[in-house]
Every structure is written in C-alpha cells, then in structure tokens.
Amino acid sequence: MLAQVTYSAEYETAGKIGAGLLAVVVIIALAVAVFMIAAMWKVFAKAGKPGWAAIIPIYNIIVLLEVAGKPIWWIVLFLLGAIPMVGPIISLVVSILVYIAVAQNFGKSAGFGVGMALLPIVFVPILGFGSATYVGAGGAQPPAAVPPVQPPPPAAPPQA
C-alpha cells in the first residue's frame, strides 16, 4: 500500500526559510560581483584601457592580457580551461602568470600577482582602489622626460 503524504505547515515554513536564505545568498553574490567589476574597472582605467571592458566577457580577458603585456593569442590558453581534468590546472597556471605580469606592471611583487590569481576579492581591489600606478609592460618606470638640448647662443659678431 502506498503511504499518503499529507501537507503540513512545517513544509511551508521550511520552504519560506529556504527561499529567504537563497535570496540572501543571491544578494550577497550580486554585491560581490558589482564590487569586483568596479575594482577591475579601476585597474583597467589606471592602465589606460577602457574601464567598461571589465563587464564584457572574453574582451575583458583580452584587455587584461594587454595590461599584462602578454600576446593576445594567450586567450586560447584561458579557453583551454574547458578541457576536462587538465583544463582547470592550465587556466590556473595561465592566470597566475598573467596576474604576476599585471602586478609587476603596476610596480608590485610577483607574490602580489599570485595573490591576485588565488584571492582576487582581496588583491584586485587593493590594486584598483589603492595608490598603485601603471608603469608599463615589464614593470619598469618609463624614462623621465628629458628636456631638449638647447643650442648655444650665436656668437657675437667681431668688432672692428
């Protein structure tokens, strides 16, 4: 004989609690996403790239590669993440290499770049909202502007 399931107020209460928790999780996730977009927007803007690129999928990776000074074809390495088993490892290694280059281009250490790859919610906002300035590919300060050399004044005409 089949057991008869009866409706209970307990089920209704549990459903409301579950829906409320889900709503809280979704709101927190959206807040974190907006915060990370704003942080990456600032990083791109500091590097002289369009900040809005942070919200465009795939293009944001291309801009990140430009900020890092890496060739654009490295986008293929990011897309290898779709390969089962080894893909995530490849994506992690490539992300670490790219973020190390980004950190160095902002005058930060390689350890900061590893932090950006492994804990972006902490390190990307530090880079974006902090005082770091983009120093260019390779992390070397651009040469200071050298004043042009002034020619010597013309010699006075000889007096007779």
Q: What is the pLDDT of residues 41-96, one digit of tens each?
A: 999 999 999 999 999 999 999 999 999 999 999 999 888 888 888 888 999 999 99
Give the model's pLDDT for residue 142.
47
Q: What is the largest CA-CA distance in the chain?
A: 134
Residue 97, amino acid? L
Hey, where are the domains in the chain? 12-139
**CA 50, CA 13: separation in Å to the nearest integer?**
48
pLDDT of residue 100 exceeding 90, the answer is yes
CA angle centred on 74, ends 131 and 39, rounded to 5°: 25
C-beta of residue 125 within 8 angstroms of C-beta of residue 39: yes
Q: How many CA atoms lie within 13 A of 89 on its CB side?
A: 3
Q: What is the pTM of this model?
A: 0.73
